[in-house]
Amino acid sequence: MAIAPERLVGSDLMDIYRKVESGERLNHEDGLLLYRTPNLTGVGYLANIVRERRHGAKTYYVRNQHINYTNICNKFCKFCSFYAKKGGPAPYEMDMAEVKRRLDWHKDIPITEVHMVGGINPRLKYDYYLDLVRLVAQSRPEGVHVKAFTAVEIVQIAQMGKVTIEQALRDLMDAGLDSLPGGGIEILSDRVHQELFGKKLNGEEWKEVARISAKLGLPQYATMLYGHIETDEERVDHLIQIRELQDETAHFLTMTPLSFHPEATELENISQPTADTDLRNIAVSRLLLDNFDHIKSFWIMNTVPVTQMALWYGADDADGLVHEYEITYKDGEFGNKSQALTHENMVRMIEEVGRIPVERDSFYNEIVREEPVAAGRTLKPLTVV
Ligand code: SF4
């Protein structure tokens, strides 16, 4: 017997339900209602309709490695616990030998993507960045996707080389850069920019980097950092501005809502977002971003259990195995920063909640390997190692 939609989404969300069913674009007011209704399961149900329409039960993941090449930074963002400061993380800067050492750590794992971001370190010259990209791009005989540098870093690199942003991107692409990660703007709001990260580029400058990247055929990922001082209106504004930019450029691959971690930041007095907030941001992103194929739940920031739930709240991507992620660590020291899921545990995380794990490359092409994890296998307890 069919269940009436009102029972599933609630009467307050029925207008949005009808829009979702007919594929009509949601507007600003719809976004605000989705953020403000107490009916989170209704929001999740709507997001799941879109998620399953696009991807069925498939959930994508990538075999990746993160390298955070320096934590020296002159931008002093209030939400950041990563950059080196007195009483905080000790400064570090990786030379090529150190980067190579880290790449070698995982030589036995068929990693397909290396994700690199770092602080804005004025000591690093233009050639450092080109060498860094070249080293990573050539580190595996079978090739590896180099996803590196937020828009803030791109502006810094161009300044260090005394070249235009376009020329810097061309040079980086020649060296082996394959895509730009999200980040760099956090949320497209002049108010939040002024209050939390005034030394970084502003929204218009961030969009300019995105437009140049699109013009050069360089794909980019998008993010939204939530759970600090932003309002519901600012979240909706951010998502709609990103949607408009995607209408124009069509070069964004994925949206990743990022859950703010206040510990060891200047915003330590703010409570960390709850699972409710994490799930809502994923669901609303799925519903508003009708021109994005993929919504990612970054398990490092919103935990494995929340990511499992998120796969029913609009997310179709669980990110990757990740290794050595430094950004949300309290001490941020240059040492053992292992945050990784084994491949088996990634598969298990997805299967445990009734979804189908699909390994992908950075462009969402499916990767089929000769020895998939056999069904019915015995797995170790699901832990982050
Ligand atoms: Fe620097 Fe990035 Fe941290 Fe801002 S968020 S202080 S730019 S490392």
pLDDT for the residue 340: 79
pLDDT for the residue 328: 55
Say if ligand 1 is within 6 A of residue 73 CB: yes
Fold for the domain defined by 59-359: TIM Barrel (3.20.20)
Contact 153, 185 (CB under 8 A): no
Gap from CA of 327 to ligand 1 centroid (Å): 9
Say if ligand 1 is within 6 A of residue 80 CB: yes
Gap from CA of 119 to ligand 1 centroid (Å): 5
Gap from CA of 62 to ligand 1 centroid (Å): 25
DSSP 8-state secondary structure symbol assigned to residue 252: E
Nearest CA to ligand 1 atom 7: 75
Nearest CA to ligand 1 atom 3: 80
Gap from CA of 3 to ligand 1 centroid (Å): 49
Gap from CA of 160 to ligand 1 centroid (Å): 17
Q: Where are the domains of the chain?
A: 59-359
pLDDT for the residue 63: 94
Gap from CA of 42 to ligand 1 centroid (Å): 36
Contact 312, 293 (CB under 8 A): no
Amino acid 20 reads V
Taking the C-alpha atoms of residue 100 and residue 132, their distance in angstroms, rounded to an integer, is: 9
Q: How far is CA 257 from CA 226, 247, 260, in A?
A: 7, 19, 10
Structure confidence by residue, pLDDT tens digits, 90-128 = 999 999 999 999 999 988 889 999 999 999 999 999 999
Q: Which of 323, 260, 311 lies closest to 286, judged by CA? A: 311
Say if ligand 1 is within 6 A of residue 258 CB: no
Which of the listed residues 75, 153, 185 should we mutate to test ligand 1's pocket, taking the one with most ligand atoms within 8 A of CB?
Answer: 75
Contact 171, 153 (CB under 8 A): no
Nearest CA to ligand 1 atom 8: 119
pLDDT for the residue 4: 86
Q: Tell me the H-state helices in 199-298.
A: 203-215, 232-249, 275-288
Taking 70 as the pLDDT cut, the residues of the chain under it are 323-339, 371-385
Which of the listed residues 68, 70, 124, 200 should we mutate to test ligand 1's pocket, taking the one with most ligand atoms within 8 A of CB?
Answer: 200
pLDDT for the residue 370: 73
